[in-house]
Structure 1
Amino acid sequence: MTANEASRRLGHSSGLCSFHLRQLARLGLIEEAPRGRGRVKPWRLRWESETESAEFDLHAEGSGGEAFSATLHLTPAERNDLAVSVRKLIKHYQDRIPERAGTQAVSVNFQAFPAPAERAGQ
């Protein structure tokens, strides 16, 4: 995605989008993708690249978090089954004794909704 594409999708100026894309790159979350034509500067998610950064390891102990996303192609029934499965998994952890040694409160979010038409093919 380029700053101009982000600008069109988000309704902000391309300069503002470019600034924030550079900030995300500085933090290691995104990186420049292979160049397009002319002055086009596309970006891609860092963890989609062939080389992963050792500095940005979500699985490292004490990293503070885990984040991921995926686009799935599901029927409404499959989407419901997924939601039920996630609820059961979360309930398993909720039913444990709270505040055990070595634990901390963790916020968990789950969303499953139809993707916008422009992303459905990705």
Structure 2
Amino acid sequence: MTDTPSPADAEGAGNDGGDGDGSVSLDPRTLRGLAHPLRIRLLAALREHGPATASGLAARLGESSGATSYHLRQLAAHGFVEDDPERGTARERWWRAAHRGTRFDAGTFLSHPDPEVRGAIGLFARGVALHHAAELDSWVTRLDDWSQEWQGSFDLSDFSLRLTPARARALRTELHAVLESYRDPAPAPEEPEAEPVRVHLHVIPRTTD
């Protein structure tokens, strides 16, 4: 699983109003609220880096503060972000992610009778794909900044398998379980070299044409 919203599921920060694991399940209304590339990036940044202001997020993402402020309000209207009362002041509004992650059943939405809902899935999935590509590009660009230990620990593998839809779902479930077994709430004191690690998981069918 990842810390960015993804069509299968995702995790980040917060724990209100969602499923038992602290994530929130999308419905057609909230899906449309998240189906925007900048909103996906804003939510991912809040989940990965913690609370921030619209201006702070604008600087981090290379956007205008007007754009980040507008889209943060839209995310708030759909329940994805909320005010951070511990940091907000009369002059500066701080935002935080409202849930650990985002989940939805892509198959159910793709068969939805409303074409706008089906279209929102495409926007959402493309936004997540672009975010993953940007993260990977950033890592490759800055590879020399990391220690030899980390340079020897990353992975850019891909595999070609022949699967049925049922086996593909089973593979996804098993891979998620393996990743969860490596999740710790915080690195132990004897592990000062621990760093946040991003794991992208893509399971996509390919035509033989």
Q: TM-score, normalised by structure 2?
A: 0.30
Greater relative contact order (Cα < 8 A, sep 6+): 2
Flag the structure with higher helix content.
Answer: 2
Q: TM-score, normalised by structure 1?
A: 0.45
